[in-house]
Amino acid sequence: MTTKRDFLQLGDLTRQELDQLFARAAVLKADRRARKTHQTLAGRTLAVLLEKNSTRTRLSFEAAIHQLGGHAITLTPGESQIVRGEPIDDTSRVIARYADAIVFRTSGDDRLRTLARASSVPVINGLSEGGHPVQLLADLFTVIERHGSLEGRKVAWVGDGASNMALSWIEAARIFGFELRIGAPKEYAPPASFLTTVGAGARVHVLTDPREAAQGADVVSTDVWTSMGQEAESAIRLRVLGSYQLDSALLGKAAPSAIVLHCLPAHRGEEITGEVIESPQSAIFDEAENRLHTSKALLELLLA
């Protein structure tokens, strides 16, 4: 019997598997635009279990499995028996009897790992406090599309350096060897323990000056300052992160060929300006589209 593979963080796949995933995503993207269809996952069912609201994660995985010949069943927040107290491992064991894989979007990593341990089918991290690896697949693929490769690149992350996106970028820097500069206030620096464990050996520089982080960068990325579940901290975050806005002046510090990434949704006028989102250097909507193609490649890798 084949051992099931989970995708809870980028490092659950080898560097070779990630390279193959990006190559396959490129083929699937080209085929999609040429209206060529695939049935590689015909008859397969994907369960999408959401404890946090979603646009891109839900749509990309539902469309991905459908376009590969399978079917998705989505449970939105409040629709499962988890909200009425059913143990998460019981939910996991039952879903695994109905579906061939589970995408789980949740808060704590403890909940994610509990569900994964109880499941007999692959579990994919659709977002957790500790990372957003499915988003990083799309981000990295977008960098490869625009710049040809990840090798030798300089990536700037500006804003909350302890966010799940920043943590996944740190893991990506270790796996792919590019230079990552995190421009964040000291209050929102990445946890030192994460840098010495998951980020061990990575070329990561934590800086408090966003301009220094962006200097000469090939990629400048950011995310909202207040994520789901942090609403009570919004006023403090706006005050502390106010000087870390990705605007035209900050982008001007990057390389002329630099691209801008944002996982969306964006709060225009807060962490990023509308001018930058709509600029020629923005790859944000290509990045959003690439969630579909990398999700398809990931599902094939885990299930086909």
Instruction: Give catalytic residue positions.
Output: 105, 132, 135, 223, 263, 291
User: Which residue's structure tokens are 């804003």?
Assistant: 159
Say how many C-beta atoms besides its own lie within 10 A of residue 212's C-beta. 13
Q: Is 105 part of any known ligand binding site?
A: yes
d(CA 297, CA 149): 18
Q: Is there a contact between 109 and 127 (Cβ–Cβ < 8 Å)? A: no
User: Which residue's structure tokens are 């960068």?
Assistant: 217
Rg (CA), the chain: 19
Say how many C-beta atoms besides its own lie within 10 A of residue 38's C-beta. 16
Q: Is 228 part of any known ligand binding site?
A: yes
Q: Is 237 part of any known ligand binding site?
A: no
d(CA 7, CA 227): 22
Q: Is 81 part of any known ligand binding site?
A: yes
Q: Is 127 part of any known ligand binding site?
A: no
Q: Is 93 part of any known ligand binding site?
A: no
Q: Is 227 part of any known ligand binding site?
A: yes
Q: Is 133 part of any known ligand binding site?
A: yes
Q: Is 142 part of any known ligand binding site?
A: no
DSSP 190: P
Annotated binding-site residue numbers? 54-57, 81, 105, 132-135, 164, 223, 227-228, 263-264, 291
Annotated binding-site residue numbers for carbamoyl phosphate? 54-57, 81, 105, 132-135, 263-264, 291
